[in-house]
Chains A and B, each alone.
Chain A
Amino acid sequence: EPEVTQTPSHQVTQMGQEVILRCVPISNHLYFYWYRQILGQKVEFLVSFYNNEISEKSEIFDDQFSVERPDGSNFTLKIRSTKLEDSAMYFCASSDTSEAEQFFGPGTRLTVL
């Protein structure tokens, strides 16, 4: 069964460093998303991406964040200068239409020290 994959599973970084979280969505999907879940809190929407551009972003998704689909398979989330409060589980998701269910990856746990 097709699935969304994410790498790495766990990333530890120093405050101020740049990190890139990688996702491989399901191959025929066209809509891509990033969410995050701070420990003990609810899952929060960050950004959605379609047709090589951002279709919606939340207030969390400020200038420190960017997304990219560098090739036909990967979808990345970059945090330019990490803060302690960026520590969270980051989930990638994809769907094949704008109204279909989203399939989630297993997540990347980001720890900022």
Chain B
Amino acid sequence: AQSVTQPDIHITVSEGASLELRCNYSYGATPYLFWYVQSPGQGLQLLLKYFSGDTLVQGIKGFEAEFKRSQSSFNLRKPSVHWSDAAEYFCAVAGAAGNKLTFGGGTRVLVKP
């Protein structure tokens, strides 16, 4: 069965500093991987996705993620965070059948001025 682990429940970062959110997955085949962001009271917005090809993928809002098969990881990064990046971030993996998404527990990001 597929699963996703986000080891960090909370991360606090200063505005302008870099951010890295960790995601580890368990899946038997080549996964489809996603990062979603959820602002308070909002739905889930897709930041970026990986299906195949270049293992470094660029997304919206200046985010990028790198797929590392050997480490079963898909970490999300941003070089310089803005106060508006304060939100909860979810990593997800797609199943082979029906394309359901299995989500990690989420990482809440707080941005200090």
Contacts and interface: CB of A to CB of B under 8 A. Distances in A.
Contact of B99 (A4, A31, A58): A31
B25 interface: no
A98 B97 CA distance: 9
The interface size bin for chain B is 20 to 34
A91 B38 CA distance: 12
Contacts, number: 56
A101 B49 contact: yes
A79 B44 CA distance: 23
The interface size bin for chain A is 20 to 34
B71 interface: no
A12 interface: no
Interface stretch (A13-21, A41-49, A66-74, A80-88): A41-49
28 contacts: A4-B43, A41-B105, A42-B104, A42-B105, A42-B106, A43-B103, A43-B106, A45-B102, A48-B98, A55-B98, A56-B98, A56-B100, A58-B100, A91-B43, A95-B99, A98-B98, A98-B99, A99-B32, A99-B51, A99-B94, A99-B99, A102-B46, A102-B101, A103-B46, A104-B44, A105-B43, A106-B41, A106-B42
